[in-house]
A and B are shown apart, each in its own frame.
Chain A
């Protein structure tokens, strides 16, 4: 029996010492690996200091614990050996318990040590990188004019034949340089200027960009690239960031969200130039893009409430504002948007005010002449409420254009004295109601969203009676998150000066894809 006890004691002691040694060896090896590994060195260079400290603490704690545990084991064994040749069952139980505790501690520490394999993961690994992505769309569209329309088929302004269109191939390049610095560029590729129309009501000749390779005689039609945005953003704080470059004016809902995969409808609001000649429409009430600087930020007055702001300074609008700014007045703008975002309800109300000066000059023989100059005061407002698949949104754009008397453009409409364009106001409004059908349990990822919208435009109040009323309805079908199919019908009721009228039905289908 005594022999058996001795054997048991020897075996337990051997196991305990082995576990202790194994623990020391594993800890030492782990520390050696951490110290010797080139990854560990690079980790020290890139990992956030706190993370290093946590890892270092963890390792030193482990070593200390191992040493402490080993010492304890030795002293316990020595005590056990010196006090009694035959340990009692209580002592054996105590030893067993101690071993179990050591094993548990060892496993826990080993688990923590395994964490070090991700210690070389740093903030920059997760938050930096570059990406290419974009979207494109193809549409089939048909416009039909009423018989009594004062313009339409054959007058050269609009095409009434059914046709395919590819309006967007937008390519994005996005780069997160650091956790606070990023760059984004969006380029829209276009077949234009080939087939484009000059912005002159009296001359509707279309542009041709056909050229012939002199060696192969192969004909090419060169197209264009329209820069939508290209900016560098520095966002050191949530409440304060800066964008520098060419940016989308921060107004509205579907201006910044302009991708055809995001927008529900086919025809974008406020772009009714699908039926009217551009010279009649005039300018948009708000510059779509600006070259300059934007200071922006977001604050949270409450958990469910956020306030976004943006202050813009830019060249403003001009005949060539992205290349040369012909006046000293910079365009100034202020955006405010308040959003309530509850668990199942979102309400957002936003506005943007803009002031700027437009100038167009011509230079000849060391003389300059101011061709056109006006000041513009513009305002935009947007409202959105979304809950349980219902989406109601509305936007308003308005502007006042005040010409410099010495630089008023010629008016071709005879609506003012001296055939010059008077000051005028612009008002555009639309509202849209959509409902995403609750069919996810039946159709899975497929979504169907019928919508109906109304738009009222008064592009230039100087042209008495000039109004456009648009009613549209359609269906937006998304078989996946990156593909969108739309079908839409719109009725345009256009009244022009001298009670000229036209009704136009536009039917269109569109396939939009993001990639």
Chain B
């Protein structure tokens, strides 16, 4: 009899803990950062580039997201981050999809919410964002690799096309 009781309680424990464990594993897998690295440079890579005054040399994709959502507001030397976004809608759509995990509407809602909650404005939009970042100290933006003008700014993060 005690063995049967043990068996039942074991089964109950499994049903109680099993879904929870499955959930935790599933979430962990989803959260695991992609280890796929671009073996070769792809012209459609998105490069996160900064003004040369920025001391940070490399940031993760999560940090890049936080920079453009104004969650992270300072570089490692304490200087204010100035995010600049391009006017090119295709590039922005790619960046939303790869980095922000948002669609256009999600992003609009995010900035509406930030405006109402904290008075926070969205980043400045400049057609030639690369030139703007060349000029403005502590600024950061993103471009396709094929459009990158080497030497005038520096790269802190490379985001390969989805699926790579």
Contacts and interface: CB of A to CB of B under 8 A. Distances in A.
Interface of A: 47-51, 54-55, 111-112, 114-115, 117-123, 125-127, 129, 131, 133, 135, 172, 174, 176, 179-180, 182, 184, 235, 237-239, 256-257, 259, 261-262, 298, 300, 303-304, 306, 341-345, 387, 440, 444-445, 447, 478, 480-482, 514
Contacts of A445: 104-105, 108
B135 A256 contact: no
Nearest to B72: A300
B30 A341 contact: no
B74 A237 contact: yes
B131 A123 contact: no
Nearest to B112: A481
B30 A174 contact: no
B62 A343 contact: yes
User: By CB atoms of chain B within 10 A, which of A127, A135, A306, A482 has the most?
Assistant: A127
Nearest to A236: B78
Contact of A111 (B66, B108, B115, B149): B149
Contact of A123 (B31, B109, B138, B149): B138
B31 A122 contact: no
Given A261-B112, A343-B31, A447-B105, A55 B135 contact: yes
A184 B119 contact: yes
B115 A51 contact: no
Main secondary structure, interface of B, reads mixed
Contacts of B60: 303
A48 B138 CA distance: 10
Given A126-B82, A126-B139, A118 B134 contact: yes
User: By CB atoms of chain A within 10 A, which of B115, B119, B131 has the most?
Assistant: B119
15 contacts: A51-B137, A115-B134, A118-B134, A121-B132, A172-B115, A180-B80, A238-B72, A239-B74, A303-B62, A343-B30, A343-B61, A345-B27, A482-B112, A514-B112, A514-B116
B128 A118 contact: yes
B145 interface: no
Contacts of B111: 481
A48 B136 CA distance: 7
B7 interface: no
Contact of B74 (A50, A176, A238, A440): A238
Interface in B69-83: 71-74, 78, 80, 82
Contacts of B112: 261-262, 481-482, 514
Interface of B: 27, 30-31, 33, 51-53, 60-63, 66, 71-74, 78, 80, 82, 84, 101, 103-105, 108-109, 111-113, 115-119, 121, 124, 126, 128, 131-132, 134-139, 149, 152
Main secondary structure, interface of A, reads mixed
B27 A121 contact: no
Contact of A48 (B33, B53, B73, B118): B53
B115 A440 contact: no
Contacts of A54: 52, 134-135
Given A115-B135, A262-B113, A304 B52 contact: no
| Minimum-distance CB pairs A-B, first 3 | A48-B137, A481-B108, A238-B74
A434 B116 CA distance: 21
Given A174-B119, A182-B119, A440-B103, 10 more contacts: A48-B137, A49-B137, A50-B137, A115-B152, A117-B131, A121-B136, A123-B136, A235-B73, A238-B73, A262-B112
Contact of B131 (A118, A237, A481): A118
Nearest to A481: B108
B10 to A, nearest CB: 29
A478 B109 contact: yes
A477 B116 CA distance: 19
A131 B121 contact: yes
A50 B27 CA distance: 44
Contact of B137 (A112, A123, A129): A123
Given A118-B128, A304-B62, A481-B112, A179 B135 contact: no
Contacts of A478: 109
Given A172-B119, A259-B116, A514-B115, A114 B131 contact: yes
Contacts of B124: 126
A123 B135 CA distance: 9
A302 B118 CA distance: 24
A480 B104 CA distance: 11
A257 B118 CA distance: 9
A423 to B, nearest CB: 35
Given A174-B119, A237-B78, A262-B117, A342 B134 contact: no
B53 to A, nearest CB: 4
A486 to B, nearest CB: 15
Contacts of B74: 237-239
A342 B62 contact: yes
Contacts of B139: 123, 126
A186 B131 CA distance: 36
Nearest to A257: B117
Nearest to B66: A341
Contacts of A184: 118-119
Contacts of B30: 343-345, 387
A304 B118 CA distance: 21
B62 to A, nearest CB: 5
A60 B149 CA distance: 20
Given A54-B52, A342-B31, A481 B109 contact: yes
Given A115-B135, A123-B82, A261-B112, A50 B53 contact: yes
A112 B103 contact: no
B44 to A, nearest CB: 20
A48 B132 CA distance: 13
B105 A440 contact: yes
B31 A345 contact: yes
Nearest to A184: B119
A256 B116 CA distance: 9
Contacts of A259: 116-117
A148 B117 CA distance: 42
Nearest to A175: B119
A67 B68 CA distance: 42
Contacts of A514: 112, 115-116
